[in-house]
Amino acid sequence: MKLSSRMAKFRGKRKVLEQVKIEGIAAEGKCIARVNDEVLFVEGVAPGDVVDVLITRKKKNFMEGKPLTFHEYSKDRVKPFCQHFGICGGCKWQHIPYDIQLKYKHQQVIDNLERIGKIPLPEVSPILGSSKIKYYRNKLEYTFSNWKWLTQDEIATGEELDRRGLGFHVPGSFDKILDIETCYHQPDPSNEIRLSVRKYCLENDVPFFDLKRRTGNVRNLIIRNSSLDQWMVIVQFAMEHEKNMGLMEHIKTSFPHIHSLQYVINDKGNETFHDLEVKLYSGEAHITEAMEDVQFRVGPKSFYQTNAAQAYELYKIARDYAGLKGDEVVYDLYTGTGTIANFIAKDAKKVIGLEYVEAAIEDAKLNSEINGVTNTEFYAGDMRELLNDDFMSNHDRPDVIITDPPRAGMHEDVIEMLLKIEAEKIVYVSCNPATQARDLALLDVKYTVKKVQPVDMFPQTHHVENVVLLERK
265: left (phi over 0), alpha (psi -120 to 50) or beta: beta
pLDDT < 50 stretches in the chain? 1-6
Radius of gyration for the alpha carbons in the chain, expressed in angstroms and rounded: 24
68: left (phi over 0), alpha (psi -120 to 50) or beta: alpha
Bridge-based pairing of strands 38-42 and 31-35 is antiparallel
The catalytic site residues sit at 431
- What pLDDT is attached to residue 28? 76
pLDDT one-digit tens code per residue, 34-58: 998 889 999 889 999 999 999 999 8
- What pLDDT is attached to residue 294? 96
- What pLDDT is attached to residue 5? 39
For the chain, the residue count is 473
Residue ranges of alpha helices (H) inside 72-147 are: 98-112
- Cis omega (within 30 of 0) on the bond before 189? yes
- Cis omega (within 30 of 0) on the bond before 187? no
Using CA atoms, how far apart are residues 67 and 86, in angstroms rounded to an integer? 11
Number of alpha helices (DSSP H) and beta strands (DSSP E) in the chain:
11, 23
417: left (phi over 0), alpha (psi -120 to 50) or beta: alpha
Using CA atoms, how far apart are residues 54 and 17, in angstroms rounded to an integer? 7
Is residue 80 within 8 A of residue 100, CB to CB? The reply is: no
Give the bridge partners for 287, in sequence order.
Answer: 298
- What pLDDT is attached to residue 150? 87
Is residue 160 within 8 A of residue 109, CB to CB? The reply is: no
